[in-house]
């Protein structure tokens, strides 16, 4: 199936290559590092043939159990310059509870391999508010992640998806969700990261490198900023979503069906919709508020054609009244409290 998927992905690249000249590339969601060396060579050679190399930022997500020096060298040779490693925790008991296939020891080995493979820009993904995780364990996790010398941290509160063991345990009453502890962990994250020179540039993302004219630290993930600022992107692979020329697309999720469509010589798009301008602008407003810089008034108008102060005046006033947001002549942005509840704030802007 992996061989078949690799061939299908190459076919999809062949369909779209004439429409794009990528500024950023992101292989991830799932674990692309599970592909073997030969499969990676097939994809990368196709990208070279189709003139899709040379992106300013190219990220590959990896699991600490599936990293090798040979893969790192191959990636670097083709222009990959950023790796995002799904660590989640340094506690073996919590990793087992999350159903992760790697161990604490593999995290350290993999990070060393990535450095030896030539990667300077490495992100570490962590989770907090995991059942059984104490504030002390979380602080220790942060300390170990920072001691590795990473330039970027992505830290997410655990989500209980319906088809996971954690959700079943929650439903069975084996543990309860402690919102106060989750808030304490989030505060500890901000305090620890900023004390070590990391800038919080988005709700869950912290990067080193200072903040320049772009309002982004050097190691900020440009690819994700593109999403939050409402720009265009192509999505390739099963389940992948894209947004190009005002049209949102979603590929089929079933991998077999995805492959079958491309083998028939057609795109594997399950659905597409053209978003009305105001609805699209509302989504752009909502996503962009996740960034600590918020929305500069002029930048939002340039991006959407709408004035945030006119079409969302009541929502802005409500958030300011709650203490969740502030505004000045230049921008509108969430406060630290507002960022903790960014999803609730963002919903108010959807149309």
- Note the pLDDT tens digit of each residue in 203-233: 999 999 866 546 799 999 999 999 999 999 9
Same-domain status, 88 and 212: yes
Which residues, other chains included, contact 218 with Cβ-Cβ below 8 Å and sequence gap of 6+?
A: 151, 207, 208, 209, 210, 212
Q: Which stretch of 27-36, 92-101, 192-201 has the lowest confidence by average pLDDT? A: 92-101
DSSP class of 65: G
Q: What is the mean pLDDT of residues 241-246?
A: 94
CATH number at residue 54: 3.20.20.70
254 is a domain residue = no
- The fraction of the chain above a pLDDT of 70, given in percent, is 99
Q: What is the mean pLDDT of residues 288-299?
A: 96
Same-domain status, 221 and 290: no
Q: How many domains does the chain have?
A: 2
pLDDT of amino acid 105: 85
> Are the beta carbons of 59 and 25 closer than 8 angstroms?
yes
The pLDDT-based confidence of 176 (bands split at 50, 70, 90) is confident
Longest dimension (CA), the chain: 57
- Whole-model pTM above 0.85? yes
Which residue spans within the chain are E strands per DSSP? 24-27, 57-62, 82-88, 121-128, 152-157, 199-202, 205-207, 241-244, 247-251, 269-274, 295-296, 325-327, 331-334
pLDDT of amino acid 213: 47
Same-domain status, 220 and 317: no
245 is a domain residue = no
Which residues, other chains included, contact 136 with Cβ-Cβ below 8 Å and sequence gap of 6+?
A: none
240 is a domain residue = no
Domain membership of residue 336 as a residue range: 277-347
Q: Over the chain, what is the mean pLDDT?
A: 93
The answer, yes or no, to whether residue 47 has pLDDT greater than 90, is yes
234 is a domain residue = no
**Domain-terminating residue out of 211, 228, 245:** 228
Same-domain status, 202 and 84: yes
Distance of CA 206 to the CA centre of its chain: 12
Same-domain status, 60 and 140: yes
The pLDDT-based confidence of 161 (bands split at 50, 70, 90) is confident
244 is a domain residue = no
266 is a domain residue = no
Same-domain status, 299 and 201: no
**Domain-terminating residue out of 196, 228, 260:** 228
pLDDT of amino acid 21: 92
Same-domain status, 70 and 182: yes
> Are the beta carbons of 188 and 135 closer than 8 angstroms?
yes
CATH number at residue 326: 1.10.10.920
163 is a domain residue = yes
pLDDT of amino acid 211: 61
93 is a domain residue = yes
């Amino acid at each position: 199936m992996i061989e078949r998927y690799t061939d299908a992905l190459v076919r999809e690249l062949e369909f779209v290559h004439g429409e794009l000249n990528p500024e950023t590339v992101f292989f991830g969601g799932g674990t692309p590092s599970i592909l073997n060396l030969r499969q990676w060579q097939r994809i990368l050679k196709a990208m070279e043939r189709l003139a899709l190399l040379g992106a300013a930022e190219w990220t590959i997500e990896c699991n600490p159990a599936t990293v090798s020096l040979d893969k790192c060298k191959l990636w670097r040779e083709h222009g990959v310059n950023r790796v995002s490693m799904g660590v989640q925790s340094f506690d073996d008991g919590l990793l087992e509870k999350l159903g992760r296939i790697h161990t604490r020891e593999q995290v350290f080995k993999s990070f060393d391999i990535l450095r030896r493979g030539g990667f300077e820009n490495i992100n570490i993904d962590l989770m907090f508010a995991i059942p059984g995780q104490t504030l002390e364990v979380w602080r220790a996790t942060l300390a170990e992640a920072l001691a590795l010398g990473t330039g970027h941290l992505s830290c997410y509160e655990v989500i209980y998806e319906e088809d996971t063991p954690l959700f079943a345990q929650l439903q069975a009453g084996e543990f309860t969700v402690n919102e106060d502890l989750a808030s304490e962990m989030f505060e500890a994250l901000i305090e620890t990261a900023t004390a070590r020179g990391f800038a919080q540039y988005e709700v869950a993302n912290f990067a080193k490198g200072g903040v320049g004219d772009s309002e982004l630290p050097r190691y900020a993930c440009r690819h994700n900023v593109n999403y939050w600022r409402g720009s265009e992107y192509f999505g390739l692979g099963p389940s992948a979503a894209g947004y190009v020329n005002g049209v949102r697309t979603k590929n089929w999720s079933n991998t077999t069906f995805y492959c079958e469509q491309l083998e028939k010589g057609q795109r594997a798009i399950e659905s597409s919709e053209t978003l009305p301008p105001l609805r699209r602008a509302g989504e752009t407003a909502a996503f962009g508020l996740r960034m600590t810089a918020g929305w500069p008034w002029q930048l939002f108008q340039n991006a959407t054609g709408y004035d945030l102060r006119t079409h969302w005046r009541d929502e802005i006033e409500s958030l300011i009244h709650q203490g969740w947001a502030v505004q000045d002549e230049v921008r509108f942005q969430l406060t630290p409290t507002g960022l903790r509840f960014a999803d609730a704030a963002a919903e108010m802007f959807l149309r």
